[in-house]
Every structure is written in structure tokens, then in C-alpha cells.
Amino acid sequence: MDPRRGPLAVPKVRRVGFFTSIEPSPETPRPNRSLSGPAEAITSSSPLSDSPSGQFISPVQIPPSRHHSDNLASRAAPVPVPGPSAFRRQLANDRALHVGSYNPVDSLLGTSPPSSNGEVSEDSGSLFGFQRSDSAKLSASFPNGGFDMTMRVRAPQESEAKVAIASTSDGRKKNVEASAGEGESVAAKPRKEKETKSLKEKTSKAERRAIQEAQRAAKASAKGEGSKRAGESSRPKPSKPAKQPQPKKEAPQVTSSVSEKRAVSVEKERRMDVPQTQMQYDDKSRVDKAKRRSVVEQTESKNKVELFLHLPQYERGNQLPNLSSNIFSLDTIHHAVYKVGLQHLAGDISGDNARCIAMLHAFQEAINDYTTPPMKDLTMDLTAKINGYVSFLIECRPLSMSMGNAIRFLKNQIRKLPVDLSEPEAKASLCSEIGRFIDEKILLADKVIVQHAVTKIRDGEVLLTYGFSCVVEMILLYAHEIGRKFRVVIVDSRPNLEGQKLLRRLVTRGLDCTYTHINAVSYIMGEVTRVFLGASSIFSNGTLYSKVGTACVAMVANAFSVPVIVCCEAYKFHERVLLDSICSNELGDPDAIANVPLRNNKKHSKTMDNNKNLQFLNLMYDSTPAEYISMIVTDYGMIPPTSIPVIVREYRREDLLL
Amino acid sequence: MWRRSASFILDDERRRTSNSPPMADNTTRAPFQNPDAISAYYQTRAAHHGVITSDWLAQAQAAVGGGVSGEENSDSSVSELGKDKSFNVIEEFNGWRKQPDLAEAVAAIRALAAVIRASEASTMMELEIELKKASDTLKSWDKTSISLTAGCDLFIRYVTRTSALEYEDFNSAKSRLLERAEKFGEISCKARKIIAMLSQDFIFDGCTILVHGLSRVVLEILKTAAQNNKLFRVLCTEGRPDGTGVLLSNELSKLDIPVKLLLDSAVAYSMDEVDMVFVGADGVVESGGIINMMGTYQIALVAHSMNKPVYVAAESYKFARLYPLDQKDMAPALRPIEFGVKIPAKVEVEMSARDYTPPQYLTLLFTDLGVLSPSVVSDELIQLYL
């Protein structure tokens, strides 16, 4: 998320850069905050704190209450990080430029009535208001003295501001004054501006990025300590001059280890509350930490593909005996959950629905056996317990999106439990809620989907499906049952060959089937009239996240203008947006693709094992862009992929969101 | 490859299943013998087109039903169809439907309102069941009319929703429903005005507009634009077999709008000089695509490949919970086509009256809910029906 915010902030900064008149507005909030906030905050806004505005304001005492609110507000609404421009400014290290650039704003805002404390805190909820009120405040402080005259006490300055509000004529007078102040700097301005511009061009993208990162880290650390020190922040001035030189030195050397380390630690802290599913496995410290806590001992495979380092990849097969031996020694994990975890690990349960149902049943059992420890709250303790189970399951195998949704549902149910409910009642209600979820959102949803999808199967059609999806199987069987005459093409792929299971089931029921591997999909697509696909998840932008190979089938179908129908229960919809299949994916056993069964190639694989230049990538999922999907059949009917957000917004709010 | 195509198989299937080959007696023009194969909706439309007069639009919506000469032959046959089922609703519906200015959905709702009026039910539940039965008969009577289906669904939806609100007594609830039914007619008339207003921003001076089909909304749009003193030119496709383009050009020339008639096959030829395409819609489906008079898809394809915007004007009661995947994925709406010459007995004739235009070829939809992009249609439908 953070890297995304950076570029967003840039245009704003650019605009500021060109229109120098508005320059102070985005950056002024920061120095103010650093003032109010802890010493760290000052070091944090490293490239900025030496900016002249910060210096100019610093002597002016501003009532603590206001800072406090500012500070809070800044935490609530993130202020754009003026990355490049801050750097540029810092490099330029020039004060006159800033002072010069203030004045037009002063003249504009000097007469506006902004700077009451309450207003600031209110306004600051929105970014714009925040900037504006601050610049207005600046304008109040600036007209009554040039850059060197700001060394004033707070009280008179404030009264002056009030006067400015009261009488416009007075304000105009001040504007004149201000423009006089500007006159001094104006000569220096154009030259400096040129300089800064060229400097800006010189800073490379990487550098800018690094700066942003450093700023972010600093900001976060400030955040962490801000709350602690907020109380004593009334007089932060003395600390400031001492701290100021430090960032000045540090910021340009963006690669300095200090800032990097801080960034890591901060990031760690910040992510503590983020669900574990999103752990980045290329982050060493976090992985180590996770390992220490983990129940399952997995050995990481050595030869990993560069692009997918952030995903966990383990050697298969060696942890299972180990785990099953100490099944009795582990009392933190409920045995039902343990069993499900092992089944996931061994691959005994596959398929999203099956995994999700198994997990929910295990939770049901665990909740049934649960007793609240003395002196503890059921809501809190049970949530913690569930969290423990979930992290165990994740260690066994990364959760699918649908399981994540189900867990969110359960946690939300726990949170929503009435306080006055006795423990057995609470447990019973939770269990019945879980049962209801399974029945309504999964089993019944499947039935509805089948009813909808069957209307799209006419006589004489050739349907293609990829891999194994239980909903698609149900649809095909039902359509056969009600007497539709159609043919099925099952496309399969190594290494799982799940399609064979489907093929076996369909053929025994008397359906006309063709079985082929994905290599032949472009040949077979010519005779196909409909493609039915299952889904692991569908994201808000309509991207389908499903078994690897699905995207290929969908694209070929699209090229042949064959409609692609995706069957997916609504509980699998995810409100996030997915753009590629790299960020979130799962790595399977690399040996599965290295070894081809029925071929005596053991010797061959031995030589491959030690080869540093050879990496096996066994991706489990891929993402299909929305434009290849003609229709999504869900329990709410048949919808286009563009309507996923509507379903998520309208129907899942009560289940999943806070 | 073509042999593998399922559409071929399907066509084959249909021909085999239909008891009489529809093209056999095409030249003798006796399609009424096969009532199920002929779309009543498109029959009515053709009838309306046949009797079009200058005061066609000026006609007040409260005009009394029937009474337009020349309509008798086609509509009497239609009502014959209704009679063999001998349902009150259908006769009522047909009565309303004869008004050229009244939209099909409104006619359906008026018919359902008549059901309420005539009903002797004493509870809301009973009334609901009765209404449902009536709407089902209406819907099954003419499966090709999307706005009929949508209108019925909308009204039933409204009834079931309001009954949940529990009025203190049954009679007030009943009168409330009737009120609503009356209002619906007004809404439908207002909708056209709203759409016409909304679309004015898109018509600029000096533009050339290609129009396909005779849509009351599109005509209203062009009329409003002319009244606003906009300078524009209209190209009308001929619109075989109904000759809708001829009728539209006639109407437009009365309004002093420069009009040019095109052959249906000259669309690509003249697309160069076109700035935008305006079409109406018989139905707007869940995907955001439209079902409209035959030829719309073709025009949308040409416009899309030449990067011209395609605007659709449709009232919101034409939104239907349908999701066709391709052209054959709809109930076939057949219309007899006259070729003027004798067609050899072995030659098949494509008689479908409508086609489906997928959403990716449409630019914007002008509806009374606002100017929508095709993907919003589904959002509206979900909010309406779920």
C-alpha cells in the first residue's frame, strides 16, 4: 500500500513545484506536526525539517492543544509525502525561495478567516482543508514580518491574525507588507528555481523512492512515539535545533543502513495487526520470527525463483511424520484443527469449498470444546484462539481467499456476540452461525448456481471445462439429468491432473466426454461453444483468481469468441483488487514438475537437484483479467464481472465488514 | 470448421422440431398459422409503424385505447391468440397495447392494475398470488417482449415490497397499488423527456447522427435538439423489413431536420461522416448490452471499429434480468419478411427480428436514471431486483 501512496502524492507535489505560489501549503503541516510531536518527529521529517518554513515557524509558539489535534488528525488522514520535491528543496537548501513563494498565498488567504483551533482539527479530516487552514495560518504569521521577522512571540502574532480577519483593510495593508517582503527574495527566486528544477531532474527514480521510504519509516516511528510524548509536547523547541542537523546529513545518503533498519522495524510493527496471510517471505526478520513461533517445521527449499521469493516454498514430505508424531504433545491446537491442517498439508483435501468446509467444521468442533479460562473474556480469548488456529493452518498451507473470507465472517460473529450471553449460549450461537454459513453460502449457493447455469446449456452444445471444479461438475451432471444433450471437453494439466477425477465421474454417469491436456486447447477450442470455469476467488476489479492454466484457457476461448462462464459462490468474492498473479499466489511442490511419473528419470533429477542455475516454479494459481470473462454465475444470479463490487458492497457488508 | 458450429446444429434442431418449415409458405405470407413462432411484440410494433401519423407522438397518453384504423387485421389476429387462453389479463393488455404512444411495459402494468381492480381477494397475500398468476400468463403469452416481462417483474416487485410495509387495512394498500400503477404511466412518459434532456449535452452543432430503428425516445431526443436550435444532420437507415427509417425520416423532415436515407447495407460506407450513433432498445440486459431491432449489432460493430460513439436511449423499465451470451441465446422473435419475389422452397430465410449488442460496443446509455456506462446497468438491476 505504501509504495502506492507515494506516486499518488507526487502529482500534488509537482503542481506545487510549478505553481510556486501554493508551495507552502502541502509541506507546512509537517513542520507543525514535528513541532508538536516528539523529537523523533523532527528527525523523521528529515528532509523537511530543515526547510525554511519549519525554521520560521519554530520560534513562534503555538498553543499545544492545536498541535495535539493536528497531530491526531495527521494520523487519521495521511498527508501526502512530498517526496521528490522535498528532496529537491532540501538539496537546494535555500530559504529565500520559500519565502518568496509564500507571498501570493498570503495575499489570497490573509483575509480569509481560518485559524481558529477547532476549525483546524475539523478541517484536517480532509486533506484539502488541512492544507488550507495551515497555509492560512502561515499567512497570518507571515505578513507581519518577512522571513527574519517571524522571530516573534506567539501571542501578538495571533492577535494580529485576528485583526486580519476582522478588517479587510488591515489585511490589505499586510499584503502590501508581505509583497514588500517578497521583493527582497524575488530577485533570488528565478535563478534558484531553475537550479532546483535541474536538480529534480537529476534525482533518479530509485533515489526518490528511497527517500520516500525513509520518510515513511521516520513518520511511522514518530507515530509510534508520538502518542507517548504527546503530553509533553508543549515545549518541543529546545530539542529541535539539536536534532535538525542530523536529518540534513542523513537524508541524502538514502541507502544508509540506519534508515533502512528503521524502516524494517517500523514496517514490522505496523504489520503486526495485518492478517498473516500477507506475510512477505522475502523479509528475513519476519520469517525468522514466524519460524520461532511455528508448530510445523518446514524446511525452505533452496532453489527459489527470484520473482516469487515473497511466497513461502517448502520442501515437501519431511514434516508430515514429524507432525503426526507430536500430535499428542501439542495442546495449543485443537485436535480437529490439527487434523484439518495435516490434511491440507498432505493434500488430502483439495478444492476451495472442501477446504473451507473442513476448516469451518474443525472450528465448530473447537468452539464446542472451548471453555473460557478464568479471568478472561470469551470474545477476546476465543478470537486469540482462532487466530492461533489460523496461523497453524497457514503454516500447513497458505489459506485460500475463500477461507480468509470465512475466517473473517467467524471473527466478526465472535465480535458481535452480545455481552450478556452465557458461555454455552454463545458457543451454541457461534456453532449454528458457522453451520448457517456452510449451508447458505456454500451448499445452497451451489444449488442456485447450478439452476442459473443450466439455463445457458442448450441442446447440441460442446462445453469445455478446465481442471476440476465441484460446481461445474454439479452443473454438468444436473444438465445431463434434466435431459440436455451436450458434449463435454475436459482440459487437464500436469502435475495435479485433477481433470481425471472429473472425467471418471462424468463418464460413469454416462456423459459424452473428451479428455485432453492444455497443450491442445487451441485445437479443441474451435469446436467448443461454452467454457465453464471454476474459481478460487474473484476480486473487485473482476479478475478471476483460479487454478493455474485457467487464464490460458480463458484467453484462448476469448480469441475464438467462445463465451467464458465463471461459476463462483459469492462468499469467494474479495474486495481487494488483483492486477497480476505475482503478488498473491501459492507455490506448489517443485519436485512435482521436475519428476515425470512413468518415466525412469531418477538419475536425471539427481543432477538437476544440485544445479544452481535451475529453478522449478510450480505456481498454483493465476489471474484472468476481467475482459476474458463473459459472465459470472453466482448465487445472486448471472452478473458481468464489472458487478463484483456491487455484490461485495451490497450483500457482504453485514457478514464480513466491521 | 463451420460444420462444427453449434449454431448450425441448433438451427437444424429447430427446423426439425418445428412442425411446419417456416419458410415453405413464406411467399404466400401466411405466418399467422404458426402463432408460437411469430413474435407478438414485433407484430405490434409493426402495426404501430404502419399507422404512424403526424400526431403520433402528440397523442396524449391518456388517449382512449384502440380506434386507430388499419390496425384491425394484425391485432385482431393477435387477440385471437389471446382468446384461446381466455384470460382477462391478456385482453386487457391488448386493449392498452393498441395505443401507439403507450409503452409495452406501461400497458402491462395497466393490465395488472385492472387485475387488482377486478380482484375479489381480501388479503394482501391472495392479491399477490393472483397478481403473480396474471403476470405469469402475460409473460408466457409473449415471451419475446422484454419490456413486458420487465414491466410485470417491476410491478410484482413493487407489490411484494410494499406489502412488507403493512398498511393498516387492506383497502388502503390496494388503492396505494393502483395509484402506483397510474403513476407508472406518467413515469414512462416523463422518462422520455428526461432522457431527451440528458442527451442534449451530447449533441453538438454541426454533428451528424446515425439513427437505426424507430425509437420513440430517439425521436424525442432529436425533436428536443431541434427545438433547442441545434444544427445537426441525421442519417436514417432504411430499416427493412418494417421500413422504420422511412417513417423516421418522414417525421424528422417535418421538423426541418436535414435527413438522409441509407440502405441498411450502406452503414459502413457512410460511417466516415457520422459523429455518433443513436439507437433505441427493446431491452437492456444485465451485461449492459442491448437487444434491439435487427441490424443494431452490425452498426455498433462498424461504429466501434471506426471509433464512433454509440449511444443508446432506453427507459429504465426496459432493464431486464436477462443475460444472453450470444445471438442465439434468446427466445427467438420471428417476423415474416417480404422479399417481393418468390423465394424458392428450399431456401431458408432468417426471420429473427432482433439482435443482441454486447456491452463492449456501446459507449453510453441514456436512461431516466441518468447517463450510464453499460456496466452500471447490472448494478441498477441488482439493486432493483435483489
User: With contact defined as beta carbons under 8 Å apart, do A73 and A124 qualify?
Assistant: yes
* Distance separating alpha carbons of residues A517 and A527, to the nearest angstrom: 16
ipTM: 0.77
Read off the C-alpha cell for B60: 396524449
Cβ(A541)–Cβ(A578) below 8 Å: yes
Determine the pLDDT at residue B106.
80
**Nearest residue on chain A to B360, alpha-carbon basis:** A627
Average pLDDT over residues B247-262: 92
Nearest-by-CA chain B residue for A629: B325
pLDDT category at B308 given cuts 50, 70, 90 is: very high
pLDDT of residue A114: 39
Q: What is the tens place of the pLDDT at every residue in B345-361?
A: 888 888 888 899 999 99
pLDDT (0 to 100) of residue B163: 55
Comparing CA positions, the residue from A153, A23, A156 lying closest to residue A96 is A23
* pLDDT in the model for residue A625: 94
A302-306: Cβ within 8 A, 24+ apart: A303/A590, A303/A612, A303/A614, A303/A615, A303/A616, A304/A615, A305/A615, A305/A616, A305/A617, A306/A615
Q: What is the side-by-side order of every strand in the sheet holding B283-285? A: B319-320, B283-285, B290-293, B354-357
Cα distances (angstroms) measured from residue A335 to each of A258, A276, A420: 45, 22, 30
Q: Break chain B into its structural domains and give their ranges.
A: 85-190, 195-337+349-385
Question: What is the CATH topology of the domain spanning A448-594+611-655?
Answer: Rossmann fold (3.40.50)
Fold match between domain A284-441 and domain A448-594+611-655? no
Sheet holding B207-212, edge to edge: B259-262, B232-237, B207-212, B276-279, B310-313, B364-367, B370-372
Q: What is the C-alpha R_g of chain A? A: 31
Report phi then psi at B289, rounded to 5. -80, 175
Asked if the model's pLDDT at residue B267 lies above 90, the reply is yes
Across the interface, do B286 and A638 touch by the CB < 8 Å criterion? Answer: yes
The answer for B 293-322 residues in CB contact with A (under 8 A) is 321
Q: Are B312 and B290 in contact (CB under 8 A)?
A: yes
CA distance B9 to chain A (A): 6
Cβ(A401)–Cβ(A448) below 8 Å = no
pLDDT per residue over B9-66, tens digit each? 455 555 555 544 444 443 333 333 344 566 777 766 666 655 443 344 344 333 434 3
Give the helix ranges, DSSP H, for chain B. Answer: 6-17, 40-50, 72-83, 88-97, 104-118, 124-141, 146-163, 170-199, 216-227, 244-254, 267-270, 296-305, 374-385
Q: Which pLDDT score is estimated for B81?
A: 41
Mean pLDDT by 10 residues, chain A (658 residues): 42 39 42 42 41 40 41 42 46 43 40 40 39 41 42 46 46 47 47 50 61 68 50 42 42 46 48 49 68 59 71 62 58 79 81 89 88 82 87 84 88 84 86 90 92 91 92 93 93 89 93 92 92 93 92 94 93 89 82 71 58 81 93 92 88 59
Task: Please report which residue ranges of A397-520 form alpha helices under DSSP H.
Answer: 401-416, 423-436, 445-454, 470-481, 499-508
Q: Give the Cα separation of A232 and A245 in Å (integer).
A: 23
Q: Considering only alpha carbons, which residue of chain B is nearest residue A542?
A: B375
Pick from B153, B66, B74, B71: nearest CA to B108: B153
**pLDDT score, position B95:** 73
Phi, psi (degrees; rounded to nearest 5) at B300: -65, -40
Contact B325 A631 (CB under 8 A): yes
> Which of the pair, B370 or A97, is modelled with greater confidence?
B370
- The CA distance from A582 to the nearest CA of chain B, in Å, is 28
* pLDDT tens column, B95-147: 777 776 677 778 888 888 888 888 777 777 788 888 888 888 888 877 778 88
Question: What does CATH list as the number for B85-190?
Answer: 1.20.120.420
- Cβ separation A643–B375 shorter than 8 A: yes
Answer yes or no: do A631 and B326 touch at CB < 8 A.
no
> What pLDDT is attached to residue A507?
94
Chain A CB contacts of B356 under 8 Å are none
pLDDT band at B257 (very low <50, low <70, confident <90, very high): very high
Q: Are the C-beta atoms of A582 and A619 separated by less than 8 Å?
A: no
pLDDT attached to residue B167: 61
Whether B8 has its CB under 8 Å from any CB of chain A: the answer is: no
Cα A65 to the center of its chain, rounded Å: 34
Q: What is the pLDDT of residue A249?
A: 42
Q: Which residues in B lie closer than 8 A to residue A631 (C-beta atoms)?
A: 287, 323, 325
pLDDT in tens, B161-171: 665 556 667 77
What is A284-441's CATH number?
1.20.120.420
The one-letter code for the residue type at A598 is L
- pLDDT at residue A18 in the model: 39
The residues, any chain, with a CB within 8 Å of residue B306's CB and separated by 6 or more, are B271, B272
- The DSSP result for A197-224, as a single string, is HHHHHHS-HHHHHHHHHHHHHHHHHHHH
Length of chain B measured in residues: 386
- CATH assignment of B195-337+349-385? 3.40.50.10470
Length of chain A: 658
**DSSP secondary structure code for residue A435 in this structure:** H
CB proximity B14 to A under 8 Å: no
- In angstroms, what separates the C-alpha of B380 from chain A's closest C-alpha? 9
CA–CA separation, A589 vs A348, rounded Å? 15
Residue A168 CB-density burial (10 A; 0-12 exposed, 13-18 middle, 19+ buried): exposed
B331 touches chain A (CB under 8 A): no
Q: Where are the domains of chain A?
A: 284-441, 448-594+611-655
